Structure formats: structure tokens, C-alpha cells
A and B are shown apart, each in its own frame.
Chain A
Amino acid sequence: MSKQPERIFIKGNEAIARGALAARCKCFFGYPITPQNDIPEFMSSEIIKAGGDFVQAESEVAAANMLLGAGAAGIRAMTSSSSPGMSLKQEAISYMAGSEIPAVIVNMNRGGPGLGDIGPAQGDYYQSTRGGGHGDYRHFTFGPGTVQEAYDLTIRAFDIAFEHRTPVLILGDAILGQMKEPITPWVPEGVDDEAGRDWAITGRTNARETAREKRLIKSLFLGEGELAGQNRHLQAKYDAWTDMAECEQFETEDAELIICAYGSIGRIAKSTVRAFRKQGKKVGLFRPITLYPFPSADLKKLAQAGKRFLTIEHNLGQMVDDVRLAIRTVADSDFFPIYPGNLPTPDELEAPILACLEGK
């Protein structure tokens, strides 16, 4: 990686768009929905300048299916949306998972259910980590907490998508998308637009191709045992991701109570942890960076070390299931919900943490 010395002050949405361009994303398929509009707006001019193409689709359904087409053609492509639009994209995401098409998808989570609001929320955690469409599948999911991390993880998302032939989701929220922070942009080296595309539909006149059999990308498996075989293959792929799970641990070593929180809430909780530390209270933060695969092994180690847990989410309790699954043989986790529609301050998180710390 070549670090460029410059620092730029940009929104999370723009960081994701710039990260995609740094990763040589060549096609972007967008549709307007708040709070992610900066991404398609930025891409509508910048990806063209970078020699790529931009389409404002007629719907999120169409945008996701355009992404499916570009991914099947072996080209680095992206779409972005927010919660109601993500519901519509799930059809294509299921097909992409089933037919192993690489793609990067961004969800700037807003409040729900239904039309909800346009503020931040984490109500799409289940959808993002369980395979949000029909059928039994998973996809890689990142939950960035800072603008720099949004930039970095977007670049990595493209590599993972193509290395593992999977959709990769970047799950942010309205805070991350709309917040400006200084970041250091960088450009990965050695991205080859055509390497490792021996599965993609390219036509047989592609310059790098010699005579070969036709290629077929599909998710329909009607033959005896075929679908079971495909599902077994997919499960093995997902299982192999376990080792790729990542998290940030902050002040966890001597902590008595571990706050589990991701994304923007993880970041707010970090401020609360700092405040408690100043008072000498032994609180730490466990912030998953990959939401799928979930960093269960690291969490379990903390449980085995005798820690207690409090999960805080901007929803009614979703990731807490994964926390409890990870530590279930040794510990449990309390849960504190921030209802979508409200935005917490670090101070507001103090009371539930204090109550937990004092065993109330």
C-alpha cells in the first residue's frame, strides 16, 4: 500500500465513494435515498472521470440487478442505498450469493421499520448478517465506525468480494454517512482488473482468453443432489471466513464489564468508556468490525477471562444474539436498546453502564 501524505476532510459517504474508486471500481449503479445520496452524486461524475460508468437506475431492484450483471461480467462494481432500498435489493443479493457473483453493496442504515425516518439506526443488523433475502446464505459484512475505516474497508471489500466470489456489504448508518472527519486516503497497488476472472462471462474474444468452453453463471440447480451440493459448497465457504473475523478491543484487558457495540454506537460507547476510565471504573469496549463473520472467538476469550457483558445497539436487540451465542457456555450479556429515532450522547449511555457495573 502506498500512503499518500495528504489529509482530506470528507463525509463518510464520500469516503466510501473515494475508497471504491481507489479500489478501481468501474461501475456504479445508484438510486436516490436519504442518507446516502452523496455516494451516487459523487460517483455520477468521478467514476466517469476514472474511466468507469454510472447509471441512475429506475429502482433499487434494478440497481442491484445491474450490479449482478456487472459482477457476473467480472468487473468491480458497487451500489449503495439505505434501509427501505436495501429491502428491495435483497432479491438480487440472494441471486448473487447463490450464483457466487462478487459485488460491493453499501447500506447507510436509517430508522425503520417501514419508511421510519432518515436518522441513524442499526435495525438492519439481522438483514445484514443472516442473508437478508430468500434462501440460506450469508455474505461478508463490515461495520465501519469511523470515516477512515469506511474508506479502508471499502477498498478491502472489493478484494474480498472477488477473492471469495461473494457480495460484500458495508453497513454504516446516517451518522457515519453524514459525519465529516479528516482521513488519509491511499491507493492499493497491484489491482488487476482481469486477473482471476476464469469464471466470469467475458465472451471468448477477450484478449486474455484462448479457446474455452462457454461459461454459465446461475443459481438454479434442479438435478438430483445438485442444490444440496451447492449449499454444502456455500456453507464451506462461509465456514472458512471464521478466521477473517475482526474486532477492536479498547481497554478490555483489565475490564470487569465489556460494552459490546458496533459502528457509530461503538464509537459513542468508546467515549463513554473513556469517561468511566477517568473515574477509575474498569469498563472496556468490544467493537466488531466484521459483523459477518462475527468475531466470536475473541469475545469468548474475554468471557473465559471472567468478564461481564453489556451489549448496546441502536435497535431493539439484534447483535446481542451473536454476543450471547459466542459466550453462551461461560457467560451472558445484558442488553440496552437505543430506540431508532433517538440519538444517544455519551452521557446517556453512562446510566445503563453504571447500573450494569454495580450489578443492578
Chain B
Amino acid sequence: MTEMQEKLVFSRPESVIDRPTHYCPGCHHGIAHRLVGELLDEMNLAENSLLVASIGCSVFLYNYLDVDAVEAPHGRAPAVATGVKRARPDNFVFTYQGDGDLASIGMAEIMHAANRGEKICVVFVNNTVYGMTGGQMAPTTLIGQKTTTTPAGRCITHEGAPIRMAEIIASLGGVAYAARGSLDSVKNISAAKKHLRKAFDCQLNATGFGFVELLSGCPTNWKMTPVQANERLQNEMIPYFPLGVFKDISEEGGIC
């Protein structure tokens, strides 16, 4: 009988701290955190990075990434990151925000930071719901989706239509890169990482503002199993929030 040998082929990125997360089973934040951590390692950015954490489930990102971090008020991460970057332009500065934080209360801050072309990166996790507060309607909640504040389902005539952020951000002058990926499958996770790398490069090359939206599952607040949540993401979210690159001027050498 040949002896079996164990070979470690997959390990934790150094930038991700070795501790259990508080996330629910099936939550995609862990994958998004890992992608960011892998890139901080691969691009040798961890030592130089300044993270601006936002409000929501992802506020504790600062407990999981081994980088200097500051906590921003709800929705204000792009403004805080503007201050951080203007104060320390040689550092790599990024925010990580959910859909309630970024697309609702923080709409003014994200639009203007993007339009000014701040040399920062924004990782935007869209799971169509306010997670930490218990599943209320978000600006990205799909039509018909039941939440604790739309018990009969979101109605377009009463609550408006879900907001497509990546497309809106792509329309602004200061933006170097805007894309939407998804964390539902190996293929899409791989593409999402490429988007993040491009957005990070845009800051390192001072090309402009980098924005990556990541479609994510929230089984707990969707009241689904992780597998059902993934299927919903594929069958309902991706058709409304198409994947792809909406703006990329990284090859054109910058805005001004």
C-alpha cells in the first residue's frame, strides 16, 4: 500500500488574521475579505495600506485584516478615505462598504469621492439587504423581494427600483475603473479578483478612482440555505445586476 502524503495547497493569506469571523454560514463577506487579503499579499500592499471600515456587518473587517484601520460613520467611508488619502498620499487607501452604507446613507459621499477622482479604492459588497440590523430593505433590494420593512415585497411604485451602482459610478468623470463581479462561483470569484486587482492598480498608478461591486449572498436575511442563496444570486441578482467592466481607463494613462 502506498503511503498517503498530505500536501497543503491552499492557505490563509498573510494579510488575513487567523481568527474566527462573526459572519453567518454561507455569507460571502469571508470570500470578499480573502480576495482583498490575497491581493494585499500579492501586490505587497499590506504594510502600506490604510483601511477605512464602514458600518454594517463588514465593520469588523478591521479585526480580520492585518492593516492600519479607521472606522467611519455610516456611509461616510469615501469622505473619510478622502481625508486619509489627502493627508497621506503615499499610502494605499481603500474602503469596504455594504449596500445600505454605500448606496443609501452614503450616496452623496460615494458619488463625490468618485467624481473627484480620489485615488482610493472602494470594495462594494451588494447583498440586497441591510444585514447587521436584521434584514431591512436596501437600495439594492430587488423588486418583489421580501424584507422586514417590505413584508409584501419591494414595490417599484412605493419603494422605487433597485439601484445599479457600478453603472452609476462608471458614468462619473473621475472614475478610472468600475466593474461588477459576483462571489457565487469559482469562475466568478476569479473574475472578481481580477476586477479588484485592476481597481487597486488604478490607485497605485494614480489613474483615478477604482470601484468594484461584488454581488454576495446573505442566507440568514434572505431566509434561505447557503445553496438556495447562491441559486438566487445566479437566477435573480445577476440578471438585474449584470457582471462586467463598465469603465476602464487604466490603459489610457489617467484622467488629468
Contact = CB atoms under 8 A, between A and B. Distances in A.
Interface in A58-79: 58-59, 61-63, 65-75, 77
A65 B88 contact: no
Of the candidates A92, A205, A220, the one having the most CB atoms from chain B within 10 angstroms of its own CB is A205
B87 A77 contact: yes
Contact of B81 (A53, A58, A69): A69
A360 interface: no
B88 A66 contact: no
A66 B80 contact: yes
Contacts, number: 135
A99 B109 CA distance: 21
Contacts of A57: 79, 112
A62 B109 contact: yes
A65 B71 contact: no
Given A72-B70, A202-B68, A61 B91 contact: no
Interface in B32-63: 47-50, 52-53, 59, 62
B71 A73 contact: no
Interface in A209-228: 214-220
A188 interface: no
A27 interface: yes
A201 interface: yes
Interface string B72-96: 1100100111111111110110000
A204 B66 CA distance: 11
A56 B223 CA distance: 44
Given A66-B82, A73-B83, A203 B91 contact: yes
A55 B86 contact: yes
A218 B109 CA distance: 20
B163 interface: no
A72 B66 CA distance: 17
Contacts of B189: none
Contacts of B72: 65, 68-69, 95
B79 A214 contact: no
A27 B85 CA distance: 11
Nearest to A63: B79
Contacts of B202: none
B73 A203 contact: no
A316 to B, nearest CB: 31
Nearest to A103: B83
Given A205-B48, A217-B71, A220-B59, A73 B84 contact: yes
A169 B206 CA distance: 35
Given A27-B86, A70-B84, A203-B48, A95 B108 contact: no
Q: Which 4 A-B pairs have the closest CB atoms?
A: A69-B83, A66-B83, A75-B87, A65-B79
Interface of B: 47-50, 52-53, 59, 62, 66-73, 76, 79-89, 91-92, 108-109, 111-112, 116
Interface of A: 26-27, 29, 53, 55, 57-59, 61-63, 65-75, 77, 91-92, 95, 99, 201-205, 214-220
